[in-house]
Amino acid sequence: MLMTRITKNPDTRKEELIDIAEELFAVKGYEETPVSDIVKKAQVAQGTFYYYFKSKDEILDSVVDRLISGIAAFIREQSQRDDINAIQKIINSIKMFYQFGTEHEGLISFFHQEKNSLLHIKMGKKTEAAIVPIFADVIQQGVEEGVFDTKYPREASSVIFSCWDRLFDSSRFTSTSPESKKRLIVAGFSIIERVLGVQNGSLTGSIVEMLEVHNGE
């Protein structure tokens, strides 16, 4: 008995392949996921994959672009809320970033490998371009609310992003102890508080609580 071939809308099929690639990259790692695994899970021919993507690197770009768009959409949604202040918007975004890093640890670890430094830089630039302007608006809101004290919201947003990227680079993907990682993260957000001119502990208190919940303390 011949199986009926399922024909899908091209956009639907492409999104399905990106969904599967993202899932496999997160679980198995990018290098450990051959194209054959993606097409097997999608139940399509190898040629179908190459109709949409020239290579595994290209579908990785699509995965990254969609992840960045999702992050930016969340932060933009937070920035537009009128029921919370600027500090809570920053905290909510930080928590989302941490959750994202936890759920995609294998993929992010791949980006942070020295041999993938150019890819890491490329991803960083895309993320910065998408997020820094939104954060600048939140910081400006905080200045107007009187909870932040900085004359340079855009520059402060850029510094925060750089610090953020460094925190994930140094704390999540080294062999340091959990306590050392916690110390580094708390120290980093203490620095961010200084950049924002916010009251000491306004961010770090929530971050410590988040880390303790994550680590089951």
Domains of the chain: 10-52 (1.10.10.60), 65-214 (1.10.357.10)
The answer, yes or no, to whether residue 156 has pLDDT greater than 80, is: yes
CB atoms within 10 A of CB 60: 22
Residue 153 neighbours by CB under 8 Å, 6+ apart: 136, 137, 139, 140, 143
The answer, yes or no, to whether residue 171 has pLDDT greater than 60, is: no
DSSP string computed for 28-76: H-STT--HHHHHHHHT--HHHHHHH-SSHHHHHHHHHHHHHHHHHHHHH
Segment 11-38 mean pLDDT: 90
pLDDT tens digit sequence for 85-139: 999 998 888 888 777 777 777 777 777 777 777 777 888 888 899 999 999 999 9
Place of tokens 């994930």: 168
Q: What pLDDT does residue 99 have? A: 79
Structure tokens at 166: 């460094």
Higher local confidence (pLDDT), 165 or 42: 42
CA 144-149-150 angle, 5° bins: 100
CB atoms within 10 A of CB 71: 18
| pTM, to two decimals | 0.77
The answer, yes or no, to whether residue 210 has pLDDT greater than 60, is: yes
In the structure, what pLDDT confidence band is assigned to residue 170 with cuts at 50, 70 and 90? low
pLDDT tens digit sequence for 43-65: 999 999 999 999 999 999 999 89
How far apart, in whole angstroms, are the C-alpha atoms of residue 36 and residue 19?
15
How far apart, in whole angstroms, are the C-alpha atoms of residue 204 and residue 148?
15
Four-point Cα dihedral 98, 100, 102, 107, nearest 10: -130
How far apart, in whole angstroms, are the C-alpha atoms of residue 159 and residue 148?
15
Structure tokens at 213: 């919940």
How far apart, in whole angstroms, are the C-alpha atoms of residue 13 and residue 56?
16
The answer, yes or no, to whether residue 32 has pLDDT greater than 50, is: yes
